[in-house]
Amino acid sequence: MAGGETAVIIVAAGRGSRAGGELPKQWRDLRGKPVLAHTIAAFAGVGRIVLVLHPDDMALGLQHFAGKVVLVAGGDSRNASVRNALEVLDPDTFSTVLIHDGARPLASPGLIARVRAALDTAPAAAPALSVTDALWTGAAGVVTGLTPRDGLYRAQTPQGFHLAPIRAAHRAFKGDAKDDVEIALAAGLDVAIVEGEEENIKITWPGDFARAERILGGSMDIRTGNGFDVHAFTEGDHVMLCGIRVPHSRGLLGHSDADVGMHALTDAIYGALAKGDIGRHFPPSDPQWKGAASEIFLAHAAGLARNKGYRLSNADVTLICERPKIGPYALEMTSELSRIMGVDPDRISVKATTSERLGFTGREEGIAAIATVTLVRP
């Protein structure tokens, strides 16, 4: 990916009257929660989310999404709404941005990954589908002619950009635009086309809610993986467990930093993907991994899952030892694993148990860990 972090702008300041109903379409119920909740969930772990709302909807935004997103008031046009969001992003922190319609709740991890990957070699990228149906012109209810469909595409979002160029393009653009690609083209930016998805519908008409319900209720690819790891004690004054330095009278022996919890979790993700174990990806015979931080291994496994279109539904890690005591550090460990994998902490469990003084852990010769993960691909 391009250097720096990625931000996500979700534009939801419109009124969506064509979809019918008493509420704007982005706030209407879809399988038990607002359309916007599905849209935001699609981008969990991608980066900071900036949600652009109509000023009248800010209270609803706080009610549903406080602490999960940055809320920004929209302007009097879509252009103005996006520009308001772009202005709150620090270019020293964020190098790329994805701009997405709030009424598209079904963007898949694979689609998002394709747009992000295209930004490695292009200043802008957007998903689209080739037009395959015949195109007519018409008037008064009758066909008046045909329009060639060669080279025509149906545009989708998220549309991805390097932050500095698209912000400059928005500042310079006059008038109204259909989407952010139009603004990018007006600024002379090349926009790469990536493969869109038929399921990535934009809810516009009343019937689109039923279609979205059917898609959400469709089959999913669910994977489960298990990981187990053991490290013996050696001389030292601390152990690394799930990314946290825990003071102890001994250390753990290993080629890397010997983080037994993170190793088990990493192997569980590789297992769910049928991609072997840590040793296949980071051979212990390779000196470059001597003393390496296990965060490298876990981030690689989590990234591999995302690139294949999977999201982490949950992860459960159990540390097995008599000492040190894990309880005081469990929440901090959960937070660190959440950061590394880019998922909400409420999807991660870290807990500990003893072996009742039985076996090598009971004799305090080392620490063991087991982990289970579930990956889901819509």
Instruction: Express each pLDDT in 59-111 by its tens digit.
Output: 999 999 999 999 999 999 999 999 999 999 999 999 999 999 999 999 999 99
- CB count in 10 Å sphere of residue 354: 13
Mean pLDDT rounded to a whole number for the chain:
94
Task: Locate 195 and state its tokens.
Answer: 């493969």
Tokens matching residue 339: 């950061």
List residues bridging with 159 in a β-sheet: 99
Q: How far apart are CA 306 and CA 310, in angstroms?
A: 5
Beta carbons within 8 Å of 209's beta carbon, 6+ residues apart: 19, 28, 30, 203
Using alpha carbons, select from 229, 227, 230, 242 the residue that is nearest to residue 366. 230
Position 219 confidence tier, pLDDT thresholds 50, 70, 90: low
3-state helix, strand, coil in the chain (%, to 5): 35, 30, 35
Q: Is pLDDT at 176 greater than 60 in this prediction?
A: yes
Q: Which of 249, 245, 287 is nearest to 262 (CA)?
A: 245
How would residue 4 be classed by pLDDT, with cut points 50, 70 and 90?
confident
Cα 299 versus chain centre, distance: 13
Write phi, then psi, for 166 (nearest 5 degrees): -75, -30
> Under 8 Å CB-to-CB from 268, ≥6 apart: which residues?
225, 226, 227, 315, 371, 372, 373
Helix (H) or strand (E) holding 192: strand 191-195
In which region does residue 17 sit, left (phi positive, over 0), alpha (psi from -120 to 50) or beta (all else)?
alpha
Distance of CA 333 to the CA centre of its chain: 20
Distance CA 158, CA 325 (A): 45
pLDDT at 1 over 50: no
**pLDDT tens across 230-239, in order?**
999 999 999 9
Residue 228 pLDDT > 70, yes or no? yes
Look at residue 16 in the predicted model and tell me its pLDDT. 63
Within 8 A by CB and 6+ apart from 14, the residues are 24, 26, 54, 78, 103
Catalogue all structural domains in the chain, each as residue range(s) with its CATH number. Answer: 5-216 (3.90.550.10), 221-377 (3.30.1330.50)
Q: Collect all residues with Cβ–Cβ distance below 8 Å to 32 and sequence separation of at least 6.
A: none
The average pLDDT across 327-333 equals 96
Considering only CA atoms, which of 314, 313, 322 is closest in space to residue 352? 322
Q: Which of 27-31, 225-229, 301-305, 367-371 has the lowest mean pLDDT?
A: 27-31
Instruction: Count Cβ atoms within 10 A of the Cβ of residue 151 and give its class: 0-12 exposed, 13-18 middle, 19 or more buried.
Output: exposed
Q: Mean pLDDT throughout 314-337?
A: 96
**Tens digit of pLDDT for each residue in 124-170?**
999 999 999 999 999 999 999 999 999 999 999 999 999 999 999 99
Cα 342 from chain centre: 7
**Residue 201's pLDDT band (boundaries 50, 70, 90)?**
very high
Tokens representing 115 are 């747009």
Which one is predicted more confidently, 126 or 287?
A: 126
